[in-house]
Structure 1
Amino acid sequence: MPSDLDAPGYKERNNPGGSCRRYWFAPHRAVKAGYTPTVVPLPYSPDEPDGRRLIEATCQRLQAEMLLFLANHGREQARFDGTILGLSRRYQTDPASPFQRLKHNSRHKDIYTLKLIETAFGQRSLAALKIGDFRRWYDEAKKPSRPDGPERVRRAWGIIKKLRELFAYGIMAELPECERLHTILRHARFAQPARRRVAMELAHVEAFIPKALAMGRFSLALGTAIQFETAMRQKDVIGEWEPVPDGRPVPAGAFVLNGRRWVRGLTWEDLPANLVIRKATTKTGAYAAHDLKLCPLVLDLLDRVPLERRTGPLIIDEASGRPYAESAYGREWRIVARAAGIPSHIWNMDARAGAITEAEDAGADLDHIRSAAAHSQAATTQRYSRGAVGKSRRVAELRLAHRAMRNGT
Structure 2
Amino acid sequence: MPSDSNAPGLKRRKRKSGPDILYWVARADLVKAGYRPETVRLPYTGDDESHRNLISAACMRFQAEMLEWSSGRKRELNRFDGTILGLSRRYQTDEASPFKRLKHSTRHKDTYTLVLIEKAFGTRSLAALKIDDFYRWYGAAKKPKEPGGPERVRRAYGIIKKLREMLAFGIMAELPECKRLYDVLQHARFSQPARRRVSMELSHAEAFIAKALEMGRLSLALGTAIQFETAMRQKDVIGEWEPIPVGEAATGIVLNGRRWVNGLTWSDIAADLVVRKATTKTGAFAAHDLKLCPLVVALLDKVPTDRRVGPLILDEMAGRPFAESAYGREWRIVAKAAGVPDHVWNMDARAGAITEAEDAGADLDHIRSAAAHAQTSTTQRYSRGAVGKSRAVANLRVAHRAVKNGA
Give TM-score scaled by structure 1 length: 0.80
**Deviation readout 1:168-197 (Å, 9 max, x if unpaired):** 000000001100100111111100000000
1:339 to 337, 340, 358: 337
2:346 to 348, 352, 377: 348
**Deviation readout 1:29-55 (Å, 9 max, x if unpaired):** xxxxxxxxxxxxxxxxxxxxxxxxxxx
CA distance, structure 1, for counterparts of residue 366 and residue 202 of structure 2: 20
Q: Give 1:249 shift.
A: 2.2
**Residue 294 of structure 1: aligned partner:** 292
CA gap of 1:76–1:316, structure 2 versus 1, over 3 A, is farther
Which amino acid in the other structure matches residue 260 of structure 1?
R
2:280 to 279, 282, 293: 282
**Deviation readout 1:352-402 (Å, 9 max, x if unpaired):** 000000000000000000000000010000000000000111111111111
CA distance, structure 2, for counterparts of residue 184 and residue 397 of structure 1: 51
Q: Give 1:138 shift.
A: 0.4
- 8 Å CA contact 1:287–1:374 kept in 2: the answer is yes
Q: Give 1:113 shift.
A: 0.5
> Stretches of 4+ moved more than 3 A in 1?
none
**Residue 301 of structure 2: aligned partner:** 303
CA distance, structure 2, for counterparts of residue 309 and residue 103 of structure 1: 31
CA distance, structure 1, for counterparts of residue 303 and residue 92 of structure 2: 47
**Residue 240 of structure 1: aligned partner:** 240
**Residue 360 of structure 1: aligned partner:** 358
- 8 Å CA contact 1:76–1:93 kept in 2: the answer is no
SS, match of residue 245 in structure 2: coil
CA distance, structure 1, for counterparts of residue 245 and residue 136 of structure 2: 42
**Residue 138 of structure 2: aligned partner:** 138
**Deviation readout 1:67-87 (Å, 9 max, x if unpaired):** xxxxxxxx9423111111111
- 8 Å CA contact 1:356–1:385 kept in 2: the answer is yes
Q: How does 1:100-111 map to 2 (within 5 A)?
A: 100-111=100-111
CA distance, structure 1, for counterparts of residue 206 and residue 79 of structure 2: 57
1:378 to 376, 379, 400: 376
| Cα RMSD, aligned residues only | 0.9
Q: Give 1:295 shift.
A: 0.3
- 8 Å CA contact 1:231–1:353 kept in 2: the answer is yes
CA distance, structure 1, for counterparts of residue 401 and residue 142 of structure 2: 51
Q: Give 1:103 shift.
A: 1.0
| Number of residue pairs aligned between Structure 1 and Structure 2 | 333
CA distance, structure 2, for counterparts of residue 243 and residue 132 of structure 1: 40
CA distance, structure 1, for counterparts of residue 352 and residue 343 of structure 2: 13
**Residue 404 of structure 2: aligned partner:** 406
SS, match of residue 262 in structure 1: strand
Which amino acid in the other structure matches residue 255 of structure 2?
L
Structure 2 residue runs of 5 or longer lacking an equivalent are: 1-74
**Residue 220 of structure 1: aligned partner:** 220
Which amino acid in the other structure matches residue 146 of structure 2?
R
Q: Give 1:146 shift.
A: 0.5
Which amino acid in the other structure matches residue 396 of structure 2?
L
- 8 Å CA contact 1:226–1:237 kept in 2: the answer is yes
CA distance, structure 1, for counterparts of residue 334 and residue 167 of structure 2: 44
- 8 Å CA contact 1:88–1:166 kept in 2: the answer is yes
Of 301-310 and 153-162, more deviation after overlay is shown by 301-310
**Residue 187 of structure 1: aligned partner:** 187
Q: Give 1:248 shift.
A: 1.7
**Deviation readout 1:294-321 (Å, 9 max, x if unpaired):** 0000000001112121111000001100
**Deviation readout 1:334-358 (Å, 9 max, x if unpaired):** 0000000000000000000000000
Q: Give 1:232 shift.
A: 0.2
Structure 1 residue runs of 5 or longer lacking an equivalent are: 1-74
SS, match of residue 336 in structure 1: helix
Of 149-158 and 93-102, more deviation after overlay is shown by 93-102
CA distance, structure 2, for counterparts of residue 123 and residue 327 of structure 1: 33
**Residue 325 of structure 1: aligned partner:** 323
Q: Give 1:106 shift.
A: 0.8
Q: Give 1:93 shift.
A: 1.0
Which amino acid in the other structure matches residue 400 of structure 2?
H
**Residue 272 of structure 1: aligned partner:** 270
